[in-house]
Structure 1
């Protein structure tokens, strides 16, 4: 069996062949076809072959350029004709995702891309119709709530003083026990209904972009203290303010008071005392936090905390509150150019953080 090996000698390629020599000829010889022990070597230069192959490769490359160029032009034209409608569909999808539901792509031809374009336009039309219907229903629901609140406001305004007067008589033991208990319940529910109607009216103003912002320079610590004292929370020992120094802010005192009342009232209803109200400043924000020591907010409730009429527990449907207090608090925060976020504190309890930007609020310590 022959052996082959390639090598380089003086920069040129060579092929070396080695082959053993065997006996051959007369069959009577006992050693016929047996190896003789001799090995024949041959060295063949490959330089000419290499030059020939290089020349053939060069010729092949040169010969391939014209047909490749000729094939490239129609290939580019074909690719462009295919990619152009795909690019239009991509741009349409981007505009559609940005909210331009009325944008459509004009289909051309009857190929697969044209069929895809028609399907896209049909989907866009259906989604636009659904979105229009949803917006119409939302507007109708908001208008209905505003109309109901407006119609109920006048009779409730007349009922509230009467029920309060009867409740005072009941508290003074001037009525039979059963009657007094019923009157107290009616007065409590009337006050809750009045509060809910006021919240609905306020929400309708936010929906109509008619909520005014009357900003003024005020002391946040004094505002928090006044808000807690007004509702009797500070004297009850269930709520305390941890604000060692004054922080001057520019904001609407009535709306900041409404945010605090909603957050603290929500903490007392759904959490556990003590409820702590604190505030501090950062480089670009004033942060007001309200924390309770209750069980905290369930994980599944976080995406819905600030939704209108959402209740994390369906077992407390008769609990106090209109169900839109946190939604109103968030709207008031947004009206100031700030944010309102909810989280669970380390060690238990929920914590709500109101952040007012320094462009609106400016904190300063004494």
Structure 2
């Protein structure tokens, strides 16, 4: 959550507001302190003028009473030695004069002025005499909080559109090529969303055209292959047995390759299999093993899938082991932790180091492998495609006693 763009932008806005509020409060506070210092000097000069040092006690008392009535305050004047010289209203005790607080404990404002001749004038008033020393920091904090709350929906709206764009790109990258994102507004985010939609549309069209061309070409190839096979059968007397057998094998290999290309193209076009039913993987594998001459063992395991595609998966694994490995080839079906596992192993030289994942690429050929030996074709690539369409995974293992094992793990059907 802390790494999201929304949190980063919003925290940046709040931090900027806090800095502005604190800096403004400091500057205003400094100005108020200077103003208060100037006011205090003028106030003390005023009081000194109203209560001159050479006033007799009667005049001093009369002046203090007039000031008390004018300001509705209790005023006491103390001499340099602490003796009370004059008072109006309730006298202000000397122990209160020592407080450095502007607010008296009783809720009144206490004003203390020390005159140049050493006298001290103390006034207890209901209203402050001079500028009110209110700090602006609370007001600035309130303003910053209001702006922060107002910025929340704006920032959230912007980042929510970015999150929707990111989620759309993720879905598209996972293979949902029909994914498009909503284009809202006319800003840069909307422009990026529109650009993504245009690019996704063009790429989807290119891939669709490529798949259509591949499927059509593969379909058209089957007709001349069938005619060639028929011509060889009709001209069997004119061909030697070895030459004819070689041509028949080549045509069979071409026919199988075209069939695999057609199946791969069909699997590329669909997102969900149309036919799904419970299948006993052990029975299916045993039947294909009997046809291929592979020993099959294990225990029954029911998976949900297309029987034809699952048969093709088992057949491709067995044919791959027989073609690229060495006998004996074995297949085993078992249950492991809520899953059904199909494992096909051979006892050949195994896979070259670092090719355990690359063998699932179409027509992968390891470095140094001769043209005559050929590559892996589409067999294992189809195995992975079929496995993915059934919610399964496939990987390669290298047994300690040599050879190669391909393991397909299916979710079990309860």
Tell me the TM-score normalised to structure 1 length: 0.61
Specify which of 241, 244, 248 is matched with residue 187 of structure 1: 248
Separation (CA, whole Å) in 2 of partners of 1:321 and 1:346: 22
Alignment of 1:132-143 (within 5 A): 132-143=201-212
Alignment of 1:35-114 (within 5 A): 67-80=136-149, 84-99=153-168, 101-104=180-183, 106=185
Gaps of 5+ in 1: 1-47, 108-116, 235-239
Separation (CA, whole Å) in 1 of partners of 2:304 and 2:327: 30
What is residue 409 of structure 2 aligned with on the other side? 355
1:324 matched to 2:378? The reply is yes
What is residue 127 of structure 1 aligned with on the other side? 196
What is residue 396 of structure 2 aligned with on the other side? 343
Separation (CA, whole Å) in 2 of partners of 1:55 and 1:308: 88
Gaps of 5+ in 2: 1-94, 110-131, 169-178
Deviations 1:257-301 (A, max 9, x none): 211111122233444444331111135222111233433364366
Q: Give the 3-state SS of the residue equivalent to 2:377 in structure 1.
A: coil
Q: Give the 3-state SS of the residue equivalent to 1:295 in structure 2.
A: coil
What is residue 268 of structure 1 aligned with on the other side? 322
Q: CA RMSD in A?
A: 4.0
What is residue 299 of structure 1 aligned with on the other side? 354
Separation (CA, whole Å) in 2 of partners of 1:91 and 1:255: 42
Alignment of 1:218-237 (within 5 A): 218=280, 220-231=281-292, 233-234=293-294
Deviations 1:203-225 (A, max 9, x none): 3333443865364655x444333
Tell me the TM-score normalised to structure 2 length: 0.55
**Structure (1 or 2) with the larger CA radius of gyration:** 2
Query: Do 1:285 and 1:358's aligned partners in 2 also have CA atoms closer than 8 Å?
Result: yes
Cα distance change, pair 221–181 in 1 and its aligned pair in 2 (3 A)? same
Specify which of 182, 198, 204 is matched with residue 259 of structure 2: 198
Query: Do 1:241 and 1:278's aligned partners in 2 also have CA atoms closer than 8 Å?
Result: yes
Q: Give the 3-state SS of the residue equivalent to 2:136 in structure 1.
A: helix
Write 1 or 2 for the structure with the bigger share of strand.
1
Q: How many residues align?
A: 279
Deviations 1:298-353 (A, max 9, x none): 43662x55444444558456656783322322333344x33031133352544322
